[in-house]
Amino acid sequence: MSRVIVVGGANTDLTVKASHLPRSGETVFGDEFAVSYGGKGANQALAALKAGAPVAFLARIGTDTYGKRLYDHLVRSGLPPEGLVRDSDHPAGLALIALDREGNNQIIVVPGSNNRLNVEDLRSCEPLMREGSLLLTQLEIPFPTVKHALRLAKDHGMTTILDPAPARSLPETIYGMVDILTPNEIEAGSLTGIPVNTPSDAEKAASVLRSRGCASVIITMGSQGALLSWAEGVRFFPAFHVVSIDTVAAGDAFNGALAAALAEGRVLSEALSFAMAAGALSTTKRGAQESLPTRKDIEGVLDG
């Protein structure tokens, strides 16, 4: 199997659970506190790794206390240290999360060193990129870095996947460098101005996105399923039925598994089914990286 290259951000999540969320000026006593790891780039890299692909993750991580623990976690999880650029001037990314008993949340993200991942970092990691057949990236890092990663990948003949999250506008010039665009329904609506509530809406939005230069577009729609628009036409894939308890990182599980399946040579439609099974499975467990399914679990859903 060819290597998957993921370029993106990594965070430490500090989560406090309390009876209710504080109002302005209010102090609330928490019931539980947990430290975990996240960031879309790190989640997707580990999702691809657990789905069976060799993976290199290119990221910038501070050398502060949280950064050291995050770096150790990523390396211990199986990602090569060569892609993890250390930053002694900026702390690693943090997400501060408050949850109430109903699951409502308040989140403050401090990007830290994620915002410093730059073109020179990618150039220093270019030997790793030469080993890859597929690039997966997102929008939690500076956009010039995303754009350079896509261009560098195309120069090396790699397939490119862009998960356009968090939702933001994209310049027209970027679409031609993207082989597979994977927005969810909210992101597809933001990119096209077409509210996406039904498969028919998704087909219209995908047509607009493909007209801008993307070879293929996959719009994920949660429990409704996913729509694939590509050179062979349009196809809707119904969702796998699972008992969902937490949708955190479901999109990351989907994108990582999609990259892994494509890297081993599966055709896009088959890879999409594999990815949808991974995304569905991730919703049956709580947490982000804790919920990412193994290849064996994904294949079990497909065989069942």
Positions annotated as catalytic residues are 252
With contact defined as beta carbons under 8 Å apart, do 62 and 87 qualify? Answer: yes
List of residues 6+ apart from 117 with CB closer than 8 A: 7, 9, 58, 59, 60, 85, 141, 142, 145
H/E segment holding residue 5 = strand 3-7
Tell me 231's DSSP state.
T
Concatenated DSSP letters of 156-187:
TT-EEEE---S-----HHHHTT-SEE--BHHH
As given in the structure block, the two tokens for residue 124 are: 């220093």
∠ CA 49-53-55, nearest 5°, is 65
With contact defined as beta carbons under 8 Å apart, do 253 and 281 qualify? Answer: yes
With contact defined as beta carbons under 8 Å apart, do 275 and 264 qualify? Answer: no
